[in-house]
Structure 1
Amino acid sequence: MTIDNTTEPTTGTASRASVSRRFVLGSIAAASTLASLPTAAFGRQDDTVGDLETVAEFEPPALPENLAIDERGTVYLSMGPAGEIRAVDSEGNQSSVATLETGEQGLLLGITVLDGVLYAANASGQPETHGIWRVDPDGGDPERIASLSPDESTPNGIIPDPTTSDALLVSDHLGGAIWRVTIGGEAEPWVSDPLLEPDMDAQTPVGADGLAVHPDGDVYVDNLNAGSVMRVPVADDGSAGQVEQVVQDEGLIGADGMTFDEGGTLYVAVNAANEVVRITDDQEIETLASGDPLDFPADVHFGTTEETATSLYIANFAYGTFLEDAEAAEPSLARVDVGTAGYFPETAGETPGTAKEDGSADDDRPGDDANETANDE
């Protein structure tokens, strides 16, 4: 199939519109029923990584669905049904940054940092609020920079465009596409493909979800329904090439947020299995972490400071538990030391590096002198 970036992404007419009206609350909740899937395909538990550590705990309905980390190590989390963006500083102190209107059945999903500004994917399902929002972490009113059709799209994952400093890439788990949204507010389909589409007959109709940039510059995206990971080659002019499936595995059903380390190993939060796995360039899949405190892990992101360079942060969405018994849900931010630093594209807007004593950012990203700037998953 030849990718045509000039046309609207496939949306599948009325059947997809009906799903968007039910919206993502029911869809993601249904994913919790997949937790009993066999996990033998993941291989052995890796004993070389550190212990899982809880960094911060939250009170429902503050359920962290996605996370981003700035250059000083402050973690920003999108609190799905609450619509809140919460900050956790390097010492574990919490503060509320902003709250977006998500409606009765919507969710605040992907979040990222670009040039010190937060951008969030609001899957509210309401024409007035559905789309991509800009939030100043230092205050000010949030602003919607791009509206998307609530009947034909569900913006989910969001990362800075690796080829420019003024745009974002946004996965559309309903439309089976990835959008390119400029910070000036222009939104256009970057790529659409059947490999990115949800299974409309599944109990959980969620397709393209997590996004990450490989050290070779190509963009990777997973499909929650298919349990697959795809590679999207990126041309010199920033356009998308032919979507290619890299791996598909039953144990990857529920694949959500993901990120790369500097060696090209992919880390994926598999929410339905309550696991974080890693996938090497030769498509070997192994369980990195499982068990407490993991509860419906929905996103992963490497630390950005010298101290946290090899720490993989995990957003525990705890959504299935929340729906069954809200009082039993224990959403949290966790982390685990994986022994290698994350990969951060040079062209992204943030410059995390190591914070100097005077509070300014160092020019070198910890763990890899060749990479000086960061992206956020």
Structure 2
Amino acid sequence: MTIDNAAETTTGTASRARASRRSVLGSIATAGALAGLPTGAFGLQDDAAGDLEAVAEFEPPALPENLAVDEQGTVYLSMGPSGEIRAVDSEGNQSSVATLETGDQGLLLGITVLDGALYAANGSGQQETHGIWRVDPEDGESERIASLSPDEPMPNGIVPDPTTSDALLVSDHLGGAIWRVTTDGEATPWVSDSSLEPDMDAQTPVGADGLAAHPDGDVYVGNLNAGSVMRVPVADDGSAGQVEQVVQDEGLVGADGMTIDEDGSLYVAVNAANEVIRVTDDQKIETFTSGDPLDFPADVHFGTTKETATSLYIANFAYGTFLEDEAAADPSLARVDIGTAGYFPETVGETSDTAGEDGADDDRTGDDANETADDG
């Protein structure tokens, strides 16, 4: 299904000038460096996390922008500039799954897993490839299930819809919206709100980005420009309620991918600050982890197996370093044990016996939550 600026109609705003994802991310990295964004701004909790470790390292232009984890524990990463989807198994072995065409200025962004298939947000900016893609992780066969107009909608984070087993939620970081895309390709605006819009006068025009499902049934979304986290109440029929602000802070500017643990705490990859921030269920903000090997972290996701249930995976996009000196960039997949399992909501008719107290299935259980996914 082709969507021609439907989000604009929903928000009633004027058409926005299109900004390429690469130039946007370059501005984020540059702005962060120039502003001297502090690390440990909220006070690092030394006893909260184990040691950060690099699980896998990559060579540019393989820069991991987003990640997803299947029920076997295989991690899938969207390599932004190259458009490649890379798999890292439980032993750390890497393999290439597929490569989607991103064009000269586009990026492959959010990625998630649903019913054994991979779904990816391709921000190529090209009429032929811009939109949501489904990829078979076994043979790499790929198809675009929902095309988006490259003039404005910029798909970023992507997670399974926690209220059903056959749909995804996709953040639109230029349109200030979240789309609902069914697995058969029907795409409709799920919610749009001024609090999700980017600041088009800023150096970094990115609004709605990371998405995650909360144990209370709401969907959380971050606004990268505003340094805010918003809550979208979800009705019994799966429709979205009025968007509400959960928290806003200068230290959250650059908020990218996010995920939620079983206690309701939110973990946010704040790319420009090279930190993972935790927002507790009572809105307390703290730097959860920072330092090597974090390098422009763009997404976080919990492990899905019994062995990795309390592991937080981090995609180090390394974009700032890449822009300054490609040879010095050190993109990686990192991991830290946090002592708490991730939250994986069960959808209608779904049960599982893998990770967590109640079990976790694939990324249908939330991302980044992906993000779920994922998934930005």
Alignment TM-score, normalising by the size of structure 1: 0.91
Aligned equivalent of 1:358: none
Query: 2:190 corresponds to which letter in structure 1?
Result: W
2:179 pairs with 1:190: no
For the residues of structure 2 that align with 1:13 and 1:251, how far apart are their CA atoms?
A: 30
RMSD: 1.8
Aligned equivalent of 1:19: 18
Aligned equivalent of 1:315: 315
Are the equivalent residues in 2 in contact too, given 1:155–1:170 (CA < 8 A)?
yes
For the residues of structure 2 that align with 1:12 and 1:131, how far apart are their CA atoms?
A: 22
For the residues of structure 2 that align with 1:88 and 1:367, how far apart are their CA atoms?
A: 21
Aligned equivalent of 1:34: 32
Aligned equivalent of 2:237: 237
Relative contact order (C-alpha < 8 Å, sep 6+): which is higher?
A: 2
C-alpha distance 59-7 of structure 1, shift in aligned 2 (>3 A) = closer
Are the equivalent residues in 1 in contact too, given 2:209–2:223 (CA < 8 A)?
yes
C-alpha distance 203-289 of structure 1, shift in aligned 2 (>3 A) = same
Are the equivalent residues in 1 in contact too, given 2:170–2:179 (CA < 8 A)?
yes
Deviation at 1:368, TM superposition (A): 1.3
For the residues of structure 2 that align with 1:6 and 1:329, how far apart are their CA atoms?
A: 36
2:283 pairs with 1:294: no
Number of aligned residue pairs: give it: 358
2:7 pairs with 1:10: no
For the residues of structure 2 that align with 1:83 and 1:194, how far apart are their CA atoms?
A: 30
Q: Deviations over 1:323-362 (max 9, x none)?
A: 11000000000000000000001018987xxxxxxxxxxx
Query: 1:19 corresponds to which letter in structure 2?
Result: R
Aligned equivalent of 1:274: 274
For the residues of structure 2 that align with 1:192 and 1:111, how far apart are their CA atoms?
A: 21
For the residues of structure 2 that align with 1:366 and 1:289, how far apart are their CA atoms?
A: 23
Aligned equivalent of 1:356: none
Q: Which runs of 5+ in 2 are unaligned?
A: 1-5, 367-371
Deviation at 1:13, TM superposition (A): 3.6
Deviation at 1:19, TM superposition (A): 2.8
For the residues of structure 2 that align with 1:238 and 1:350, how far apart are their CA atoms?
A: 16
C-alpha distance 365-38 of structure 1, shift in aligned 2 (>3 A) = same
For the residues of structure 2 that align with 1:213 and 1:349, how far apart are their CA atoms?
A: 18
Moved more, 116-125 or 135-144: 135-144
Q: Which residues of 2 match residues 62-141 of structure 1 at below 5 A?
A: 62-141=62-141
C-alpha distance 47-6 of structure 1, shift in aligned 2 (>3 A) = closer
For the residues of structure 1 that align with 2:26 and 2:202, how far apart are their CA atoms?
A: 13
Query: 1:30 corresponds to which letter in structure 2?
Result: S
Q: Secondary structure at the match of 1:113?
A: strand
Query: 2:18 corresponds to which letter in structure 1?
Result: V
- Calculate percent identity across the aligned residue pairs: 78
For the residues of structure 1 that align with 2:23 and 2:100, how far apart are their CA atoms?
A: 20
Deviation at 1:152, TM superposition (A): 1.3
Q: Secondary structure at the match of 1:229?
A: strand
For the residues of structure 1 that align with 2:82 and 2:314, how far apart are their CA atoms?
A: 19
Aligned equivalent of 2:327: 327
Q: Deviations over 1:183-212 (max 9, x none)?
A: 000000000000000001100000000000
Deviation at 1:60, TM superposition (A): 0.1
For the residues of structure 2 that align with 1:182 and 1:141, how far apart are their CA atoms?
A: 19
C-alpha distance 331-215 of structure 1, shift in aligned 2 (>3 A) = same
Deviation at 1:44, TM superposition (A): 3.2
Are the equivalent residues in 1 in contact too, given 2:253–2:270 (CA < 8 A)?
yes
Query: 1:368 corresponds to which letter in structure 2?
Result: E
For the residues of structure 2 that align with 1:350 and 1:41, how far apart are their CA atoms?
A: 40
Aligned equivalent of 2:47: 47
Q: Secondary structure at the match of 2:358?
A: coil
Aligned equivalent of 2:353: 364
For the residues of structure 2 that align with 1:177 and 1:300, how far apart are their CA atoms?
A: 21
Deviation at 1:364, TM superposition (A): 2.3
C-alpha distance 149-302 of structure 1, shift in aligned 2 (>3 A) = same
Alignment TM-score, normalising by the size of structure 2: 0.92
